[in-house]
Chains A and B, each alone.
Chain A
Amino acid sequence: MRIGVFICHCGTNISGVVDVVKLAESISHYPGVVISKENKYMCSDPGQNLIKSAVKEYNLDRIVVASCTPKLHENTFRACLEDLGLNPYMLEIANIREQCSWVHSDNPELATKKAEDLIKMAIARVRFAKELTCSKVTIERRALVIGGGVAGIQSALDIANAGYHVTLVERTPSIGGRMAQLDKTFPTLDCSACILTPKMVEANRHHLIKILTYSEVEEVSGFVGSFEVTIRMKSRSVEMKKCTGCGMCQSKCPVKVDSEFDEGLSKRRAIYMPFPQAVPNIPVIDRANCRYFLEKKCGVCKKVCPSDAIDYDQEDTILKEKFGSITIATGFDLFDHSAYGEYGYGKLKNVITSIQYERLVNSSGPTGGHIIRPSDGKEAKKVAFISCVGSRDNKMGKPYCSKVCCMYTAKHALLLKEHVPDAEAYIFYIDIRAAGKNYEEFVYRVQENYRVKYIRGRVSKIFEEGDNLIVRGFDTLSGESIEMEFDLVVLAVGVIPRKDSDSFARMLNISLDANHFVGELHPKLAPVEKNTPGIFLSGSCQYPRDIPESVAMAGAAAVKSLSLFAKEFLTSEPMISEVNTSICTGCLNCKNICPYRAINEEEIKDLDGKIRIVAKVNETICRGCGTCVASCPSQCINLKGVSNEQILAAIEAL
């Protein structure tokens, strides 16, 4: 065993407190230590060259570097060892900066003593270091995208355009998501459908994209490079191959229920396509409302269908497929404003939500683009828009800003003025957040050119008086209470996580953030990655996102899949846990406790020929967190590179 110890001054960061020169001298006498040197900056080229020449000169086989935290330069020094033809894991770092000089600057003498102890422990650990290698894992070069909103569609297109197969799973009967419901889009005011439908069609026609609508992912197992996924395609009761999308069925169906797409402002039939440009252009039977399924009567759709496509006996189809990566693009839900007493608990007829308003102003919407009041169908002439409904409100458990509401509210007011030029628009707001390209200019235009009145303050009460609504509040700029009469009130309801996000996360074994959005790996440096390798985030499932951001994230997420697929194979992290099966009792404590579900049971044959169950660590999933090591009552799991042996040796060295 020939150990070399290299001690870093880190400028004066370390040597200003710790007597590095003296330390190098005393360490050089340790058993097994062949050479001990110090240098101004070990991470610099001269520092690394010092290691390189010493390894060659003294034929060293193990290295200890005493420097800053291993988080910073462990990889630098590992690479240095690799260059020398040594196994990169024959290295130990003693952190004598963060854990010593920085925190003990008041006592240089004791700090030097502690630095020595830290180095002694690292020497003890490196004695038991073993050569570690990565193993290779093949990659299934197919991507799964969950959620067919604009973000999911974009991710699917980007991956498919690079030449890989994509399966896009959408829960509702059509792809399109929230954007399909929108009228015009801020800040450019181009029509939402006009820019979205070409993408929907492109995705539908792409030979590498398989779109599964009315479908849901039910089970996910496996790991990056090879996820095993179970998808349930709910039965449409319509044979997709036969249906031509003529729409006869939906015109003749006698059942009428509230349209989800029109947010309850119109009715749809029991057999329906959510909107005319739906992709695929094939209806589904909503069995919960269909008379045939409820009462075994009717059957009109089957009678009128010219292609004989209706199949009442169709069953759900279960698909089991393998994917190399999973992109989550499940989008968002909207806050239910009935939680607010001041806004009438959702009971006031002429108080509507922003998304209902999108449908009202839409010329292909339920009113043909007429902004009318739900109570009496009269055109709205004076409209109040209230922002931050279910956003930035700790009382409602929604401390965050929904980000898109300020902008779409400005857009809504503008559209009111365009549709009804003599109408008056008032926006009640807390702040105006318009930080996006051309966003501030857009708001300015709304205020100046369209004369929309912005009132800063919270609304304390809305109530009905006769046909109209009275809005009571406080103008914090003028310091006066206000009370105004309106025809219609539009609430800018906040963006919230999908209501099923908890169970969804459990199924994928991923974590959510404090607000229950799908949390990212790193808020700055890995915003589209999950802590589970091979799972990526696209669009507003991660946090409220507008369309440009959703599309940008979609591309970023796609690139992550692509760079995975571009690899010949995956290498597994070598510092992972390993079970000593000869003493494993098969209690599976470790399996139950592993946060990444990396452990499974395995049957082995004992020396005496008996079959027994032991734990087995999946090398690709294990992240080396060490939880299992601590949980094993028999101490038969070891974390490679941080083995029990090494830890005990380090303690012993103290």
Chain B
Amino acid sequence: MDINSELQKKVYKLFEEGTIKRFIGYEKGSLPYKTRPCIITKKEDVNRLIFDQFCVNNLSIYLRGDLEKTGILANMCTLKSIVALLQGNQVKPENLYILAVNCPGMVDPDKAELSSLPAQTKLMPFGYKNLYDKCKACHHELPKIYQDLIGEEISVACEPVDEYAFIKDMEKLTQDERWKFWEKQFSKCIRCYACRNVCPICYCKECMVDKANPQWVSKLNQSSTNEYYNLMRVIHVMGRCTDCGECERVCPVKIPYRKLIKKMEKEIKELYGYVPGKDPKELPPLSTFKEEDPEKGIK
């Protein structure tokens, strides 16, 4: 059975059985290589649902707020974010039905020749080289938090990538060179806050940039405050960010956030042996206090 019929059939049944009242998934967009998130609330609409290699949005951000019996189609990135949301008590597992999908990797429009795309695109028409970098490094081991799973198991057909390769290159630069690099990147920032708005981890009710009393970050769009904002945001999500890559994808001026985020991830991994997005029962290392903490700070 092709994946779309499998998906639609399963969701139809979920509605019919009353397991869910709404379902968060993807539908076809305006162009062959575009999809968009959609939320359907009745079984008659299931035929809108699709899954292909352009379903890049992280759907977990639609889980905010009061959920009532919600189903969600979750690929690796979405699943990992759900783990983080569970850790931060942002979703109630009892209200959630997770339909996981084995994700073959998403196509990076910057890499693929999309203009020559046939009108009827099938799943998996794209080779490994066209995928997003994050997808190339994906290990495809889904965190076991889902209720059901669709799609064929992915055999990692590609040559394994060192997910920190580009970080290691950055680390070779001097501190000055790195600072120059980031200064240049952040000077492009237009403070649209797309990165924050798309980030599933940025679930604060009032973000630091919006606070007036005290004012943490000036709202002025100028190099120094932009640096401050961007670094602060990354530090805020450190240890909780699951590298879904959404912030980098949505950034209109193409700030390479993953270069920062992966560095943080690497630090946390090396310091605490912790990788976010695996087990909702685990607590992120920066959110725990252990008596036997090697650091003697508080005792």
Contacts and interface: CB of A to CB of B under 8 A. Distances in A.
B291 A635 contact: no
A635 B207 CA distance: 9
B208 A635 contact: yes
Contact of B206 (A531, A583, A586, A645): A583
B204 A631 contact: no
B88 A587 contact: yes
A593 interface: yes
Contacts of A505: 291
Nearest to A638: B214
A319 interface: no
A592 interface: yes
Contacts of B289: 592-595, 627
B66 interface: yes
Contacts of A649: 214
Given A511-B291, A627-B298, A585 B283 contact: no
Interface in B208-242: 208, 211, 213-216, 236-237, 240
Contacts of B216: 635, 648
A588 B291 CA distance: 19
Contact of B89 (A582, A613, A635): A613
B90 A506 contact: no
27 contacts: A505-B291, A506-B291, A585-B88, A585-B203, A585-B204, A585-B205, A586-B89, A586-B90, A587-B203, A588-B88, A588-B89, A592-B283, A592-B288, A592-B289, A593-B288, A593-B289, A610-B66, A625-B298, A627-B298, A633-B237, A634-B206, A636-B205, A644-B214, A645-B213, A645-B214, A648-B216, A649-B214
Nearest to A597: B289
Contacts of A93: none
A63 B283 CA distance: 43
Per CB-CB distance, the 3 closest pairs between chain A and chain B, nearest first, are A587-B88, A634-B204, A589-B287
Interface string B172-196: 0000000000000000000000000
B211 A595 contact: no
Most buried by A among B211, B213, B287: B287
Contacts of A589: 88, 287
A425 B287 CA distance: 60
B281 interface: no
Interface residues of A, number: 29
For the residues of A in contact with B, the DSSP-based class is loop
A531 to B, nearest CB: 8
A120 to B, nearest CB: 17
A66 interface: no
Contacts of B286: 631
Contacts of A627: 289, 298
Given A592-B287, A634-B206, A649-B214, 9 more contacts: A582-B205, A585-B88, A587-B89, A587-B203, A588-B88, A633-B204, A633-B240, A634-B205, A636-B206
Interface in B105-162: none
B102 to A, nearest CB: 30
B65 to A, nearest CB: 9
Contact of A595 (B206, B283, B298): B298
